[in-house]
Amino acid sequence: MTTLLLMVPLLGLCAGQFSPNVACGRTSIVHLFEWRWEDIAEECERYLGPNGFGGVQISPPNENVIITNPNRPWWERYQPISYKICTRSGDEQQFRDMVTRCNSVGVHIYVDAVINHMCGSGVGKGTSSTCGSYYDSDNRNFSAVPYSFHDFNDKKCKTGSGNIEDYRDADQVRDCRLVSLLDLALEKGYIREKIADYMNKLIDIGVAGFRLDAAKHMWPGDIQAIVTKLHNLNTKWFPEGSRPFIFQEVIDLGGEGISAKEYFDIGRITEFKYGAKLGKVIRKWDNEKMAYLRNWGEGWGFMPTDRAVVFVDNHDNQRGHGAGGASILTFFDARLYKMAVAFMLAHPYGFTRVMSSFSWPRYIVNGKDINDWEGPPSYSNGSTKAVTINEDTTCGNGWVCEHRWRQIKNMVIFRNVVNGQALTNWWDNGENQAAFGRGNAGFIVFNNDNGDMDVTLKTGLPAGTYCDVISGQKEGACCTGTKINVSSDGSAHFTISSSAEDPFIAIHINAKL
C-alpha cells in the first residue's frame, strides 16, 4: 500500500469548477449510510485513507423527529426539527472529532443537507426529537430554529391537498409539500440566512461539501442565493479560497416539468439515469447488451460528465424509492452488482460514489418491499449499533459494507491509478463480452455472456506480469489471484468462465510484478 499512499498526497487538492475537493489522486467517495460518527472516524483511519477513498457522504447531521410507528425508520433522518448537530449518529463533539480525524488522513466529509423542508405535517407536537427540541407541526412551530407559520409555503401551494399532485407542474413540485413534508419558503431572506448559518457552521468545522437533498423541489434561484452565502472551506484542510462542493439530488428521467440542466450553474447533479440504465444492461433486460456501452455517458443521453455524480444505487432506490425501478442493482444481487460497480469505477464518465449499506429482511409483496422502511441495525432503545469488523475484513452487526468487498475496494484504487487517462482499446463481441483500457494505465474485461470467454486483446499496457485485482491483488512480489501476462505488443490472453463467481478481470500498472 506504500506505493498508493505516495501517489495520493494527503495535502493539496485538485482545482477546477465544481471540484469535489478530494485530495489529488483520489477520485471516489463512499456513502456510509446511517453510520455513527465515531465509526466513520475509525473507518477513515483504518481503511478509507489507506485504500485511497476520497471522502464520505454522511447521513443528515441535524436534529430530526423521532418516529416510533414504524419503529425508527431510516427516513426519520429526512424530517428535520432544528439545525442542531444531534442525531442517532452522534452529537456535535463526536461530529467535530470525526471531521478532524477523517481530514487528517485525506478523507473528506460531505454532508447530506436537508434544507427544502422540515418534518411531516402530521407528526404532531412535543419533544420527541433527537435533541429534545420542541416542535408543533400543525402550527408550523419549530422553536429551536426558530420557524413559524409564516415561514412555509402553505399559502403558495395551489393544490387542494397541499401536496404535489402533478410532477409535470414545476410550480407544484417546488411550492407544494413532498409527501407531506412541510415546505420552507426559501425565497425569504430570513430562511436563507438560517440555512446558510447551519451550512457555514459545518464548513467551519471542516466539511468539504454538501449533497442537497430534494434539490428538484427547490427553485434554482433560491438554492443559488443560499450557496452564495456559504463560507470558503476551512484553510486548515483546504487551500485558501476553496469553495464547498455542491451536488444536488435532481431526479430527471424525462417526461416531467423540471430538467436537471436548470441546476447546472449551481453545482453537480446526481445522474439517476446512470444506475437505472446500467442495471438493465447488466441484467440483460429489454435486449440491452454490454456491447452497447461503447458510447456510455453523454452518448446515452446523460448530462455532461463534469456535471454528473454517478452511482449504481443509492439509499433511496435500493429500496425501490426515488428513481430507477426494478432494474437497480444492489448488494442483494452481489454478483451482478460487483460487475456494475467495477464498470462504473473503470469508466471515465462522472464523479463516482460507492454505496455502503446495512441489511434488512427484504420481503416483496406485489412488487414492493414492505420492509423498505427499516432503519439501521439498532438496540431495543433505538440506538444504532456499532460497525464491527470481522477477521476477514467484512463487517458484522448487520452492516453490509460493500466498500470493503475486495472487488469494489480494488476498483476504487484502479480508478485512482488510471485517473486522467482516456478510454482506449474498446472491444466487444457484439453481445455481453466487453473490454476497454484507460490509456497505458489499466485494462478491464467482462464476460456477462452465457458462454465462456477465450480471447486475446490489445491492452495498451507495458509488457510484464500483472495481478488481477478482482480475483486477488498484488501483495509484495506475489499475486493472490490470477496472473495476466502482457506481451511486448501490449496484448494479453483472457479466459473467463461464464460461471465464475466474478466474471471480470482488471489489471493496472500498480499491480504489475
φ, ψ (nearest 5 deg) of residue 309: -105, 125
Strands 423-428 and 433-438 turn out to be antiparallel
φ, ψ of residue 192 in degrees (nearest 5): -60, -40
- 213 counts as catalytic: yes
**What's the rounded Cα separation, in Å, for the pair 37 and 90?**
6
> Is 34 an active-site residue?
no
Q: Per DSSP, which regions of 243-399 are E strands?
A: 245-248, 268-270, 308-310, 351-356, 364-365, 368-369
Identify the three-state secondary structure at position 117. Answer: strand
Cβ distance 181 to 218 under 8 Å? no
Q: How far apart are CA 54 and CA 22, in angstroms?
A: 5
Query: Taking the CA of residue 186 as centre, how many other CA atoms within 13 Å lie in the half-sphere pointing to its CB?
Result: 24
| Beta strand segments in 338-476, E | 351-356, 364-365, 368-369, 423-428, 433-438, 442-447, 453-458, 464-467, 474-475
Options 43, 76, 249, 369, the catalytic residue:
249
Contact 465, 512 (CB under 8 A): yes
259 secondary structure, DSSP code: -
CB environment 133-149: b (16+ within 10 A), e (fewer): bbbebeebebebbebee
> DSSP assignment, residue 431?
S
Residue 349: DSSP 8-state: S
Q: Which one is catalytic: 42, 76, 183, 213?
A: 213
Per-residue DSSP letters for 30-47? EEETT--HHHHHHHIIII
Tell me what percent of the chain is helix, strand and coil, each rounded to the nearest 5: 30, 25, 45
User: Residue 130 to residues 85, 214, 387: CA-CA distances in angstroms?
Assistant: 9, 22, 21
Query: What is the rounded distance in angstroms from the CA atom of residue 448 to the CA atom of residue 292?
Result: 13
The C-alpha cell of 224 is what?
443559488
- CA 252 to CA 273: how far, in whole Å? 8
Please enumerate in sequence order all residues whose Cβ is within 8 A of that of 62, keeping only pairs 6 or more positions apart, or say none.
80, 82, 83, 84, 85, 86, 87, 114, 198
Cβ neighbors of 161 (< 8 A, separation 6 or more) are none
| Closest alpha carbon to 262 in 155, 389, 173, 384 | 173
Residues acting as catalytic residues: 213, 249
